[in-house]
Amino acid sequence: MKKCNGHFPGMRRWAVVLARLASMLMMSTTVLAQGQTWPSKPVRIVLGTPPGGAPDVFARLIAQKMSESWGQVVVENRPGATGNVAAELVARAAPDGYTVYFCDSTIWAINPYLFARIPYDPLRDFTGVTTIADLPMFLTVHPSLPVTTYAEFLAYVKANPGRVAYSSGGNGSIHQITGELYKAMAGVDLVHVPYKGGGPAAQALLAGEVPVSFVSYAATSASVRAGRLRMLAITTARRTPALPNLPAIAEMGLPGFDMSSLLGVLVPTGTPREVVAKLNAGIAAAVNTPDVNARMVELGVNVRLSTPEEFTATLHAEHARYEKLVRLSGARID
């Protein structure tokens, strides 16, 4: 047999093949070990919103329940650039399941069309773990506005074009997209006042800085019950079981008006499937705990859990659907 540089060519080729097989086996063993031992350290739930908004409320409810089974699960608020700061942080994190993003449709459906450039690709850089809930917005007013029903509100803003302001969680937030879509469909002129998150927008409404907002029930429920705010309508196509007497805007002369935000959990692409599966199961177990589930329903959301595969399909569908809505709103950040 002919030698090549002192070695048999066939033996050399076999050595390369065996080395590659050993490397693949080692990688598979590592991934399997990660899946079997995970979690072995604290899990960090990152939010792109400040404390007080609906995502923050629900993330902390779920994190507290998960901590009872897994040990420490911490919530970290990283607001900025309508969620882009937190999204970039998670997209660049190690794909090991210890950094997850608790966010809403803004990240995968609004920001790609709102900003001229974003530091991540929502469909390439993230893997969906599970949806959490559909989060409707509620047309809510300060008592200083002389209206008590939706019909009175509509008549008032039509009689006062450009004189009534509404707060939002920031330029391009789901609150603004909802408000601008409402303006376009109802033919009214409301002035947009952006704040740094849904929580601050709700606080501005409560303080009377602005008289109107399209906000989550979670951010305003206590104030509504205390009579310090008035809730006039829901932004989804149908009423919510939690508030059956509250009309939907769609049934009050605007058929087709249907706006809500989907809450979900993302991890960096490349996170082992075994870890994604454990995250999915752990979050579902927390949400399905009677006290957490009851609290979420009480705060006006429609609980909506899913498999990672179902969430991936939803990500793509919402990414396509919101392009038209964002353009209709006129919101743009260059």
Q: Are 164 and 131 within one domain?
A: no
Answer yes or no: is 22 within a domain. no
pLDDT band at 31 (very low <50, low <70, confident <90, very high): very low
Of the chain, the percentage scoring pLDDT greater than 70 comes to 89
Q: Are 127 and 143 within one domain?
A: no
Beta bridge partners of 101: 46, 266
Most confident of 45-54, 104-113, 268-277: 268-277
pLDDT band at 33 (very low <50, low <70, confident <90, very high): very low
Q: Are 53 and 127 within one domain?
A: yes
Q: Are 66 and 94 within one domain?
A: yes
Answer yes or no: is 124 within a domain. yes
**The domain that contains 319 carries what CATH number?**
3.40.190.150
pLDDT band at 32 (very low <50, low <70, confident <90, very high): very low
pLDDT of 208 over the 90 cut: yes
Most confident of 66-70, 153-157, 319-323: 153-157
Q: Are 295 and 231 within one domain?
A: no
Q: Are 64 and 159 within one domain?
A: no
Task: Identify the domain boundary among 251, 286, 309.
Answer: 251
Asked if 197 contacts 228 with a C-beta cutoff of 8 angstroms, the reply is no
Average pLDDT over residues 124-129: 97
Q: Are 242 and 265 within one domain?
A: no
CA–CA gap between residue 201 and residue 47 (Å, rounded): 17
pLDDT of 252 over the 70 cut: yes
Q: How many CB atoms lie within 10 A of CB 77?
A: 20
Helix/strand number for the chain, H first, E second:
12, 11
pLDDT of 76 over the 70 cut: yes
Q: Is the model more confident about 53 or about 87?
A: 87
Task: Identify the domain boundary among 216, 251, 286.
Answer: 251
CA distance readout (Å), 240 to 135, 140, 254: 11, 15, 17
Per-residue pLDDT tens for 211-220? 999 998 888 9
Burial class for 273, CB neighbours closer than 10 Å (0-12, 13-18, 19+):
exposed
pLDDT of 281 over the 90 cut: yes
Per the structure, the complete domain to which residue 241 belongs is given by: 138-251
**The domain that contains 201 carries what CATH number?**
3.40.190.10
Q: Are 123 and 268 within one domain?
A: yes
Average pLDDT over residues 127-141: 95
Average pLDDT over residues 110-138: 94
pLDDT of 1 over the 80 cut: no
pLDDT of 30 over the 70 cut: no
User: How much is the mean pLDDT over the chain?
Assistant: 88
Answer yes or no: is 24 within a domain. no
Answer yes or no: is 17 within a domain. no
Strands 230-234 and 212-215, sheet pairing: unpaired
Per-residue pLDDT tens for 267-280? 999 999 999 999 99
Average pLDDT over residues 56-78: 94
Per-residue pLDDT tens for 193-206? 999 888 899 999 99
**How many domains, in total, are found in the chain?**
2
pLDDT of 34 over the 70 cut: no
CA–CA gap between residue 251 and residue 233 (Å, rounded): 10
- At 27 the pLDDT is 44
